[in-house]
Structure formats: structure tokens, C-alpha cells
Structure 1
């Protein structure tokens, strides 16, 4: 099975692009959503998180306390590294289980905002990055997330790879810059990925 990673900075619109691929019948693994699920329901990981960050990691309903955890790690590189070191391996395992369920698909997409930062790119054959100018991404994020201000959005961007670096490291680029239509680019990439999947199956 061909595995395509899809990434992009905050506000790039990668979730919309993924929905377009899903309309074409392509299975999409959403790393962020699955990470939240794993952090809530994987007993081993829950125990590790409580041991590392304290019982406040989960609320009275035993649900992940994302606000508390974010406050603990966002401005502390060492704590963030600890969190990633616990969560990312479990998400990798979850992805492989998901692949077994979708084994009949010619190709799948794995969506991850931190595709390169978390080394998730090592699990895929090629990476597609969704690109948009920083000012466009900032405006979209502020519109989507009214609880955030411009400084908070910029702080998130600063923790992600630069647009130039993501493009340099990706094999495919889709431009979601409000100047180029997304759907024709998705259809074209879909045809390319199907052809690559055929080539891989022959090999």
C-alpha cells in the first residue's frame, strides 16, 4: 500500500484538503485526533502521563485535561519533549493498526501537522505539504479560533517548521493560497498517487 503523508502549518487548510481526498474515497488518518484518542484510552500511556505530569493530567471524568497539559508543556521545551516522547510512539503503533483495517485501499493519507518534527515522515512513502502564505494562515486561524490572539498564533507558528523548509522537504506541494483552486490540484494529485500505487504494487 502506498502511504502519503500530508502536512502544513497552522491555518494552511490541510484538513479541508484531506476532506477533498476523502470524497474521492481515500482513507485519511488524522494524527491529531488519533493522538487525543490514544491519550484518553491507552492504559499504558495514561499511566505514563500521570506519572510524568501528575494526576491533574486527567479531569474528574477521567478525560484528558488538555488545558492543564498545554500549560505544562507549551513554554517548556524539556516538558514538551517528554510529552512527545511518550505520545508519538503510541500514535505510530495506532497508525499501523489502522493500516491493517484499510489494507485494500490503493493508497492512504496520514495527516500530521508535525510530520517532520515528530519523524512521522519515516512511516510514509512521500509527503505532500499544503502551503499558504503566513499572513493568510494567520488570518484563517484567527477567524477559526476566536479564543486565540495574533501573538498566540505566531507563537504556534514559531514552533513549527518554516514554510520554505516544509516545501523543501516534501515531494509534493498543494497551494491553498486563495489564488489557486484546491479541487483541481487534489484531483491531479489523486491521479498521480494512484499511478504511484500501481508502480509500487508491481515492484
Structure 2
């Protein structure tokens, strides 16, 4: 079974693209959602996060995401500590999930697939892109964030130019109908590649 990495900068529309793959009956694993779930449910992760960030990192059984975000935003060392707790747990969770799947391939969607080297574990990698202005509009609508806040978050991510050098497929996600056609084309290409192995 092939693993296909799916990534893109904030506001690019990764989730929309993942939804189109689901419509084609391809199982999708969303690493960020798994990370949030594991922060809520894993006592081991909870212990490690409290050891690093203090008791304020959790309110009762749930992580205080605003507090944790304030610690790691603009602090690469703290962010790296958090990632070193979450990523191995997500990787183990993904392996367990993968064993329950039976399709030709699965989608592994992660926001920082290239930055962490996770793309190297995938057979193919897809990068979702969109013009900066469109991404900003989407994020303003979704998060009610200011342009300044959005641009700061974008500046913390690798550029599409850098990521595209490592991607096997690019999806330009501006018009939904066109995006869907691109997904169907990539789906066919992956199935063909599977048959040629």
C-alpha cells in the first residue's frame, strides 16, 4: 500500500483537497487532528508537555492551546521541544491506523511534511498551493485573524518554491471545480504507478 503525503501552507486548502480524495474512497489520515486528539487522550504526552511548559499547559484534562501556542510562537527551540513530543506519538498512531486500511494508497496530510522530513517516508508527495491574497482572504474568513497575524504565520513556514522542489505533484487550489479535476488526475497517476510496480 502506497503512502501519499499531502501538504501546503496555511490557507492553501489542504483540507478541501483531502476531502476530494475521500470522495474517491481514499482513506485520509490528518496528522494535525491526530496530534490534537493525542494531546487530549495520552497521559504520557500530557506528562511530557507539563514537564516542559509547566502545570499551566493543561486545564483539567485538556491542553491549554492558547498558552502552549504563546510559548512556541516565535521560539524555534520551544516549538522543536513540542514537536519532539507530538511527532513520534503521531507516527506510532499512523502506523496503527495504516494496518487497518486496505486501499491501493492512503493520504497522509500534514502541515509541516517537508520541514520535518516526513515526506521521505511517503511514496509520493502532493503540495497544495494558492496565491497569497486568496490564502489571506480564506484565513480572515476562517479565523477572524488580522492580515498582520496571518503574514507572521506565513513567514514562519517554508515557501511554496522551496517545498515544490520536493513535491511529486502540485495542486493549484483556486477554483474548486478545477481543483477536483487535478485531484482526479493525480489519483489516476498514483493508481497507474501502483500497477507498474
* TM-score, length-scaled by structure 1: 0.93
Alignment of 1:76-95 (within 5 A): 76-95=75-94
CA distance in 2, matches of 1:73, 1:64: 14
Partners of 1:88 and 1:118 within 8 A in 2: no
Tell me which residue corresponds to 1:96.
95
Alignment counterpart, residue 133 of structure 1, candidates 131, 140, 145: 131
1:181 partner SS: helix
Quote the RMSD (CA, aligned, Å): 1.4
Decide whether the 8 Å contact of 1:131 with 1:176 is kept in 2. yes
1:183 aligns with 180
- Check if 1:11 corresponds to 2:8: no
State how far apart, in whole Å, the 2-side matches of 1:155 and 1:10 are.
Answer: 11
Q: Report the counterpart of residue 110 of structure 2 in structure 1.
A: 112
4+ residue segments displaced more than 4 Å: none
Structure 1 pair 54/26, CA: closer, same or farther in 2 (3 Å)?
same
| Structure 1 residue 197, shift from structure 2 partner | 2.3
Do the aligned partners of residues 180 and 83 (structure 1) sit closer, same or farther apart at CA in structure 2, a change above 3 Å counting?
Answer: same
* 1:177, distance to aligned residue in structure 2 (A): 2.6
Give unmatched runs, 5+ long, in structure 1: none
Alpha-carbon distance in 1 for matches of 2:20, 2:176: 18
Q: Is the 2:39–2:62 contact (alpha carbons within 8 Å) kept by the matching residues of 1? A: no
| Gapped regions of structure 2 (runs ≥ 5) | none
Q: Distance in 2 between matches of 1:5 and 1:37?
A: 20
Aligned 8 A contact 1:2 1:196 in 2: no
Distance in 2 of aligned mates of 1:139 and 1:83: 29
In structure 2, distance between residues paired with 1:169 and 1:187: 21
Contact 1:2 1:108 in 2 (8 A): yes
CA offset at residue 111 of structure 1?
A: 0.4
Which of 176, 189, 192 pairs up with 1:192?
189
SS of the counterpart of 1:137?
helix
Question: Which residue does the alignment assign to 2:150?
Answer: 153
Deviation of the 1:76 alpha carbon: 1.4
- Structure 1 position 193, deviation (Å): 1.2
- Alpha-carbon contact 1:8-1:130 (below 8 Å) kept: yes
**SS in structure 2 at match of 1:192:** helix
* Count of paired positions: 197
**Equivalent in the alignment of 2:21:** 21
